Chain A
């Protein structure tokens, strides 16, 4: 069936470095993508989103890139901070009933 997956289960980065988290999706009908951050014991927190008619969107310290040709989504975090340590999920939807399909999640660990 269709699925959203992540390439790496964990990512360890040095504080101050940039982080890149990747996600592959397989449903070509998906037109809206979201990155969520989940800290231990908490619900997912919205980070940034992107529509399929865009290939890049920037936030305060985050950038999401979408490559529809290869069905690839990435989240870039600039100047990674200890507070960025969490599990990151990509999620996709076709818009129908707004149902989200989540990727497996990747743990970002920031070394001081």
Chain B
């Protein structure tokens, strides 16, 4: 149990375009999902908390208008990088916690590698 998937696994786009990344909980429903960004040789940095049916909560320094999050169902959250630039190139990872996990452990997706040319 507790399988989280992401799509696509990698994407290359031109500067100025928008890219959508999907995060799905495959065997459980998640009212909350988390989006992280990881640059090479660095740790994971939390970008935002995605809340089903309500607005996402963004961490300090993360532009909400640039990183649009939609959590329209209990199994899907999407992250759209708008007007992407080369500095947005990174590894984007989502996580979720299954309702049966009383410890509230986060389980992570496989990540999406974004390269902006």
A positions within 8 Å CB-CB of B: 32, 34, 36, 41-46, 49, 51, 89, 93, 95, 97-105
Contact = CB atoms under 8 A, between A and B. Distances in A.
A51 to B, nearest CB: 7
Interface in B18-56: 32, 34, 42-46, 49
B111 A98 contact: no
Nearest to B93: A43
12 contacts: A34-B106, A36-B108, A43-B4, A43-B108, A46-B105, A46-B107, A97-B49, A98-B34, A99-B46, A102-B43, A102-B45, A105-B43
Interface residues of B, number: 24
Contacts of A46: 105, 107-108
Nearest to A44: B108
A104 B106 CA distance: 18
B interface: dominant SS: strand
Given A43-B108, A102-B44, 9 more contacts: A43-B6, A43-B93, A46-B107, A49-B105, A89-B43, A97-B57, A100-B46, A100-B106, A104-B42
B108 A98 contact: no
B71 interface: no
Nearest to A34: B105
A101 B97 CA distance: 16
A76 B38 CA distance: 25
Contacts of B57: 97
A98 B44 contact: no
B87 interface: no
Given A49-B103, A49-B105, A100-B106, A44 B113 contact: no
